[in-house]
């Protein structure tokens, strides 16, 4: 698929992501709200930059520019956004550079989840929208990047609405959420008990909290590890390891993520549970649904396969939205000619109106002005629409033809009727 956009304003993208740099380097160049605002202000202060948009998440930092001077803008972005904070990014392969159509297509793909570490990751569209609002607030986006961002947000929204690119959990935490939702009408009424406080426990707890779990209980042998868990997820209520058994009486969802060799819950102890190291015989209890890590992985692989099958449909949406952007860009080429046509028509109108006023009573002058203004507007509407390319025809030779037909390069008005 070709993504080349011809005859468009220059676009420049410089970035790094999870494919290019380890998390240690990505964290160095990641920008919070204040940092992003500061960076955009300083970018605009450089003479080589006309417009700028900064997208920074845990997995990527990208700067999109409409440069006045491409070489200067490139050096500026390297200095301010990347190399000041992480000189190691200067090594080959740590950064990528895209231009024009390739840069435009990339932003649309990012907003649609095609460039995420997890295919179809749902949070990125909101991040693009939030950082677009920041750039608008700072005033760093002008007509070109503002229109490109509108296309990117439209592509991302359509991908979610018209395809299944975000359907089904493809991470352990969201797989637990998906299974819980299959059992309960909603998580809002659920009390969740997590046994263990390691990284897996945190990765499972985050989406449960995000999706509105009513209460989160955490039981762990190590008090220090439990405190670290609560620092990251303050909503958690810490329990001692022994208190896990009392918590079973009220818990709706139980998740065991410890590294213990023996089951931390037995069939006798359990009322309702979902875990990887729960005694297998527990699954024979009524009203209990047991899913091991293997069953969760099967669900994840099934959902990921479904998302991959949706990629061609998402690409079709990107092509459509990119074509809208191309049409808008090419329409910019017609605006000076349209303005000349309107200026010429207005000169002719004023010339004829001045002569008409001498022959008509003063009380009719306002009506004559409104009438002639409406006539000019209606006469020029269709030619203007065609020149902007709204019919999909972008043959630039028609612009030269219009210049010749209307003699737009001349200073004096033409077209007055012969007397």
Give me the active site residues, please: 58
47: three-class secondary structure by DSSP = coil
Contact 384, 341 (CB under 8 A): yes
Owner of token pair 């009380």: 363
Burial of 280 (0-12, 13-18, 19+ CB in 10 A): exposed
Nearest CA among 380, 270, 362, 315 for reference residue 119: 315
Both structure tokens of 331: 């329409």
Q: Is 27 left (phi over 0), alpha (psi -120 to 50) or beta?
A: alpha
Contact 390, 327 (CB under 8 A): yes
Contact 12, 70 (CB under 8 A): yes
Q: In what order do the strands lie in the sheet with 12-17?
A: 49-56, 60-67, 12-17, 96-99
User: d(Cα 174, Cα 171) in Å, to the nearest integer?
Assistant: 5
């Amino acid at each position: 698929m070709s993504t080349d956009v011809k005859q468009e304003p220059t676009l420049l993208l410089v970035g790094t992501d999870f494919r290019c740099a380890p998390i240690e380097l990505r964290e160095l160049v990641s920008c919070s709200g204040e940092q992003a605002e500061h960076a955009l202000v300083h970018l605009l202060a450089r003479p080589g930059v006309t417009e700028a948009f900064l997208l920074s998440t845990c997995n990527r930092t990208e700067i999109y520019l409409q440069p006045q001077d491409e070489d200067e803008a490139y050096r500026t972005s390297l200095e301010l956004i990347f190399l000041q904070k992480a000189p190691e990014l200067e090594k080959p392969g740590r950064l990528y550079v895209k231009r024009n159509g390739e840069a435009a297509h990339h932003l649309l793909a990012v907003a649609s989840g095609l460039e995420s570490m997890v295919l179809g990751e749902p949070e990125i569209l909101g991040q693009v929208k939030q950082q677009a609002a920041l750039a608008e607030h700072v005033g760093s986006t002008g007509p070109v990047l503002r229109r490109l961002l509108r296309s990117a947000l439209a592509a991302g929204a359509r991908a979610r609405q018209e395809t299944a690119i975000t359907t089904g959990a493809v991470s352990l935490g969201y797989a637990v959420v998906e299974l819980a939702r299959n059992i309960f009408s909603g998580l809002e009424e659920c009390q969740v008990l997590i046994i263990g406080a390691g990284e897996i426990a945190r990765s499972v707890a985050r989406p449960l909290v995000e999706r509105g779990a009513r209460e989160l209980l955490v039981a762990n042998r190590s008090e220090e590890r439990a405190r670290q868990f609560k620092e990251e997820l303050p909503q958690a209520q810490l329990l001692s390891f022994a208190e896990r058994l009392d918590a079973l009486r009220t818990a709706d969802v139980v998740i065991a993520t410890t590294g213990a060799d023996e089951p931390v819950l037995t069939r006798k102890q359990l009322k309702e549970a979902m875990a990887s190291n729960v005694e297998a015989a527990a699954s024979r209890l009524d009203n209990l649904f047991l899913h091991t890590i293997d069953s969760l992985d099967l669900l994840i692989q099934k959902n990921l396969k479904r998302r991959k099958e949706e990629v061609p449909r998402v690409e079709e949406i990107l092509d459509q939205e990119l074509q809208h952007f191309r049409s808008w860009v090419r329409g910019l080429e017609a605006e000076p000619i349209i303005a000349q046509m309107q200026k010429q028509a207005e000169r002719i109108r004023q010339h004829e109106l001045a002569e008409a006023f001498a022959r008509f009573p003063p009380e009719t002058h306002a009506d004559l002005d409104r009438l002639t203004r409406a006539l000019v507007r209606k006469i020029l509407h269709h030619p203007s629409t065609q020149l902007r390319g709204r019919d999909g025809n972008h043959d630039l030779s028609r612009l030269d033809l219009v210049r010749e037909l209307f003699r737009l390069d001349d200073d004096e008005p033409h077209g007055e009727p012969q007397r």
